[in-house]
Structure 1
Amino acid sequence: MGESDTKTEQPHTGAPFSSFPTQSQATSAAASEPVASTQLQEAIADFAEHLHLVVGRSPATVAGYRSDLIDFCRHAHTFEDFTLVNLRAWLGAAVDAGKSRATIARRAAAARSFSSWCERQGYLDTNVAARLAVPKSGRSLPTVVTPTAAETLMVSSQATTEPEYLRDTAMLELLYATGIRVSELCGIDLADVNYSRNTVKVTGKGNKQRVVPFGDPAASALKAWRDHGRPHLLNPKKPAHNALFLGARGGRIDPRMVRTVVARAGEQLGVDGLGPHSLRHSAATHMLDGGADLRVVQELLGHSSLQTTQIYTHVSTTRLKQAYNQAHPRA
């Protein structure tokens, strides 16, 4: 790459980036906008492949980062446009357009990661986005059901057939018993479940595997599904015939169906918007309330950082304060 292709700190000579169009303006002008250079487009594609194959990021993260970078490149067409000033203007335009704090934080993270990769690949002389501030996304306390409600939830499947009822009950039991992610649940194969030890092997973020224990209620539900429900939904012609949980057509169940199952069960309890992640939150909180060590919960949930797990201590503290305010005469 020539010298003119790597100068990134020079002022942009085209349209001013301080006047990014709003979302509606961008939509109407999309047809007339010049596209990013072929070199920049290829770099984004290679970066996305690097994230997937080398770093092991999830498909959702890769798709999100790639979408963000393509959005930036609707206005920054070459590597000369990839400057800190233009990146800040891009994030500012997202704020003005009413994008959520989480979206803005993800865009900043995508830009920083891409910038660092471009420097290593020789596309940029320096990591121009290294000083790009990443806004902290607001973290609301997660929805947590009570242990009594969770127990009722386990038998609240709204399936219309016996095989699907057994499957949905087994999924609900396993989600709450282990606190695993919905993507991890969908990826479980028959051979991953050890019924003699009541453990299941799951593959989490970054393709990291861990073994998670579950209790007798989940074991009973899993065996009932395996022996009496799964054979009726199994389609040997499907490539996912080794999957533990199957969809209506006999293939591996997808996360959207699992979310539907959990949401319908939640409606029976009068809890709107309940999802698999709520069961994950509930499992973690109930374990901590029961005296589990924070690092044990971290290992069970597959968190790479203890800081991520600490949000559940905040949830428990909030519940403790609520109970105190309701019960103590001098609260």
Structure 2
Amino acid sequence: MSELFIDAGRDWIAERRAVGRTIGTETAKAYRADLASWQRYLEAQTSSAPTLSDLTAQVVKAALAEMNNAGLAPASRRRLVTTLRGLCRYLVLESRLPADPMASIEAPRAPARLPVAFTDGQISDLLATAQTEDPLARPAAPLLDVAIALILAAGGLRASEAAGLKLSDYRRGEEPSLRVVGKGRKARVVPLDPGVAEQLDVYLPWRAEHAATGSDTAPLLVRPDGRALTRDTISYRVNRLYARAGIPKPDGEAAHALRHTYALSMVDVGVPISEVQQLLGHESIATTGIYLKASASHLRTAATAPSAARLLASKPANPHHE
């Protein structure tokens, strides 16, 4: 019996970690999710659990066609192709596949799309909404929602980075900042506007009341039941904020639009692109360069005037908490 596809995928991820590649927990999780998606689409072609012998260009192309017919976004299909390409290269090198089925397959082209950012009015509405109790939450936690909005929009963090913050990563004082561990386990320091830090300070007593521990290594962001927030929980709460504030949800990951707004506001007030790169934790300055194009386009209006940090700092948090 030929080797199962999903078992080979597990070996590939383990091998990447074993040889010291920069693959973090979230990246491994994303790979596993991509491989699970491939297993489902391949199984639809083979009518049984896919094996490595099923990895032919014909079967892969049929699976891609089904993804397209199912309405899977080009960005998602492109990511899935990249993941399978990496797995197949590994299997060929290990002599577990006789030939690379991905050699003749091109990934869907990336759309020529600039980052979506929010207007000052939308950011203001978002924060005002965060300060009010969510009627569907059980229990509501407005101080937590404010802290999430501040960290994402005034710090430019990814949702996964916000979820990974420890209590000691928030540095108070005259020059407040967040120590952020980003992709590849690379750490960076993101300065915070003092007004933003003051509002995060309002969240800390609520956190102390609900968290199981106040040790430095405990998570900074916790749920009302004391458990650490996950990236998915943060995305859910941000999506709820968009819906309650009447703000259309942008394409892609919900929290990432707040990161775009942060980046564009930095570019718009003249922060050098190399410094924006450091603040965002981008490996390549070419990735950051897209914000220069966005700032010069019609999206300039969406990120103009005060930076997101100063706008957020001007809105005091609601001191009331449950």
Q: Which consecutive unaligned segments of at least 5 residues does structure 1 have?
A: 1-35, 324-331
- Quick one: distance in 2 between partners of 1:242 and 1:229? 15
Give CA-to-partner distance per residue, 1:274-300, whole Å, 9 cap, x none: 632221111111111111222222221
Distance in 1 (alpha carbons) for counterparts of 2:81 and 2:32: 15
Equivalent in the alignment of 1:102: 75
Q: Supply the distance in 1 between the matched residues of 2:41 and 2:246 (Cα, whole angstroms).
A: 42
- 3-state DSSP of counterpart to 1:210: strand
5 Å-filtered alignment, 1:292-303, equals 292-303=271-282
Pairwise CA RMSD:
3.3
Q: 1:64 aligned to 29, 33, 43, which one?
A: 33
Contact 1:288 1:313 in 2 (8 A): yes
Alpha-carbon separation, structure 1, partners of 2:37 and 2:241: 35
In structure 1, C-alpha distance between the alignment counterparts of 2:142 and 2:300, rounded to whole Å = 38
Residue of structure 1 aligned with 2:102, choices 103, 124, 129: 129
Q: Distance in 2 between matches of 1:179 and 1:138?
A: 23
2:220 is paired with a residue whose SS is coil
Give the distance between the partners of 2:40 and 2:270, measured in 1 at CA. Answer: 47
Paired residues of 2:85 and 2:102 also in contact (CA < 8 A): yes
C-alpha distance in structure 2 between counterparts of 1:150 and 1:217, whole Å: 16
| CA shift in 2, pair 1:243/1:192, >3 Å | same
Q: Does 1:44 align with 2:9?
A: yes
CA contact (8 A) 1:284 1:312 kept: yes
TM-aligned CA deviation for residue 113 of structure 1:
0.6
- TM-score scaled by length of structure 2: 0.75
Equivalent residue pairs, number:
286
When normalised by structure 1's length, the TM-score is 0.74
**Higher-RCO chain (CA-CA 8 Å, sequence separation at least 6):** 2
Correspondence 1:250 to 2:226: yes
Question: CA 1:72–1:260 in 2, change beyond 3 Å: closer, same or farther?
Answer: closer
| Unmatched runs of 5 consecutive residues or more in structure 2 | 303-322
Q: Tell me if the contact between 2:42 and 2:60 (Cα under 8 Å) persists in the aligned partners.
A: no
- 2:141 maps to 164
Equivalent AA in structure 2 for residue 242 of structure 1: A
Shift of the 149–127 alpha-carbon distance from structure 1 to 2, 3 Å rule, reads same
Q: 1:183 pairs with 151, 160, 172, which one?
A: 160
Query: How big is the shift at 1:52?
Result: 6.1
Matches within 5 A, 1:74-93: 74=43, 75=45, 77-93=50-66
Q: Is the 8 A contact 1:235 1:250 kept in 2?
A: yes
Which residue is equivalent to 1:283? 262
Deviation at 1:151, TM superposition (A): 4.2
- Give the letter aligned to residue 152 of structure 2: L
Matched, 1:205 2:183: yes
Whether the 8 Å CA contact 2:5–2:39 is kept in 1: the answer is: no
Do 1:178 and 1:214's aligned partners in 2 also have CA atoms closer than 8 Å?
A: yes
- Give the whole-Å Cα distance in 1 for the aligned partners of 2:241 and 2:58: 49
SS in 1 for 2:129: coil
Q: CA deviation at 1:125?
A: 4.2
Q: Which amino acid aligns with 2:92?
A: E
Q: Give % identity.
A: 25
Do the aligned residues in 1 keep the contact of 2:176 with 2:197 (CA within 8 Å)?
yes
Distance change >3 Å, CA 79–CA 156, structure 1 → 2: closer
